[in-house]
Structure 1
């Protein structure tokens, strides 16, 4: 999975010909470099961040913090990504940058996925989308951020072995891409879009996977000076397709291209998947030499990720040229490490306690709802046709759903907003689903959400509407 870049195509892929390049332009050049040379981009990033802080350029600073998150994501460094996403969120909040707060939530979700906390990641992605509800939906930067969130959704469902939902989410990202005006940047987004679809279709349709990978290759922008991470993904998709078709020579050809490009760029996520597929090919071919070779490389890569933190700390020490002895540095590093571990364990305990409390509350409210729906499952005959018509629109994810709902219940929305005029559009729509007596399971199914996400939304609605703890939310909504 790869995110789209936030700058315009011309800013990313065409060199600035001015003698003096502004800090903002150098930050965008840094984004370009991340596609082809991660480590080189990281070095530049650190220097640019120092300059941005020195001249108090907050826009450049926050873009560089987002670049830092992207670096740790592509290196698959969960520890670094948690810290980087938290720093980005705090700064975005300080500078009142809603879009960047949303991006920080997206990267936090990615760090949770590295630790297989998929349900928590989905909640963070929902939070990221909610932050953008009041923003201009036609702004290219907002479009770009929403599309990236849908890409992250797609990747999550792919990792949950739900490839069909992953493809559906990626296509939602494609709908956002289509809002971008035609031109070079739109072409670049299509290049990215088909590459990601090639990966997600791999879960259930090899032919579609191969089609989209080749489509992406045909759309490679002419402005690119060399192959990038997107092309790497295309090689990986085709390698996996040929491996599944047992055409091992073709599979090896594309996987070798994927490996070489991943090593050149310094990108670890796809390199690990490439080695895993090469190991599968070696097993099928019965080639013990290749099996040993790629198992060794995969193991080395995993060890590198474990050691990445220590290596980066050594680089910082060298750059700052500290005068303290090596032993003192090691002691300080060890002390800091234990402090971080203790803080981390404490945070985990607190989070678990909150989750257990939330689960208990959710269970209580769900039982109340179950009792109410069982006692009130019969709809009056004169309203049954209206209910069924509106529910059918919900099932189809039809935008006309709220129009028909408001026709059927003309006073509901106004009465709801009188209780709390700060309710967002999405929250009003969610209350409409409750008005239709749709269960948690049904809402999760029709809106492609996790049941836990629906429960959290119910909990948030209860708080905003001040619904008493002993009253069921459906019963309360029914009275509006």
Structure 2
């Protein structure tokens, strides 16, 4: 079980003396095209190997009758699948925990809980993930197992940092250091990485002196063990602090030093980060030409899951600086990259931002074209006026009429845009309110279910004369969960989105009532787990229902996201 950290991949290419090849082949082998092909080939072979290994482990699992072996296979499958497809890893993680309980091994149970917590972390179910990490921490208080406690504290601290609770995150990182013996290179690497995380967290709360203290310690340790990757990360964090405190020359020195290390280690993601950071640095100084040269090195990279955020932010900076220079063609190209990466991130908020940027760009482009046409008309009018004085009055009148018409049109469009934004904001606020209330009810229902389960456990320890009373309490708790939740949801949803069902029935008249209800849940961007809690239907059944719904909505075989499709359904109708 490892703490969350970007993995480092090493590409080994066996070399052959270049004299053995003709000159043309030698040039090709030394070119960037050959390196790109080699990277793609290695990635392909690595993916194929991973899939092959997964299939082998699954085949062994089906054949195995040994509980201990089954535990190991489920744990290994969990670790292999979690990073790419956490939803598919969840059944293996849960099964591993059950098998660990059957083996009655506390150590295996703790490891299974950590693996399961990792899966929930990847699924962004942070409350459940934290619950499992805390469970391991409390269980090991009396008889500590250092490596397990280190993992639990670091990963639960990561969740706090993601949620911007930096003080709690720092406290957990500091606690994790107590359980890390510094006697191996691996542990020293972990310590250096953790010191960098602590320094970065202090940077976020603007405690720059403390941040530099930890970053300097991390840098010293990283140099001691020659961890080039972490040295570059620490230098980058130090550069950010100097930039925020107005020490631009010192910040630039650290950014460039980090980049040089990443060049030497051929760290693709690190180089992209350094180029982005330098582009952002020069953009803040309004040195757009230099900023462009660095940012284009990021946007020129192939789209990859680890680079999406950097591609997204770099293309946005390019759009801004091209727009500032009135280079609309280049701005549009940058905007296309921004939109493409944004779609890949499946973020509804970012999708709305793209729409705003597109509208703003289109407005600026039309305004620019109109100004250009206007200048041409003025020049033409002036030339005709020199030779034909009689036409000057007519042309001038036409000019002012056209200008007034254009102004009225602009005012009308601006008014319509304001009304549209106001309506969208109102709907968005009501959506958030409805979602919050529904999730509150879900949490309440989940709490009632937990209490019911605990009462069932208590019931088993009581005498038979108390069974009826306890069962009555459980029945009373469970009796009104689903009707209350669904009725509340139905009334409020129809009030906010009164045209949504009408639009659905108009375009897809063969949808059943349960499918219409599922559409409403997805419209609010509820997760499968949340829908399961509301409808009392298993997550697996909901996934099947979503697949059938895609087929009925004619989305099968397309890349269209179901949630985004439903979110935009009534919006598109309202804009016509």
TM class by smaller structure: 0.3 to 0.5
| Higher helix residue share | 2
Query: TM-score, with normalisation over the residues of structure 2?
Result: 0.39
TM-score between the two structures when normalised by the length of structure 1:
0.46
Q: Which has the higher contact order (CA 8 A, sep 6+)?
A: 1
The structure with the larger Rg is 2
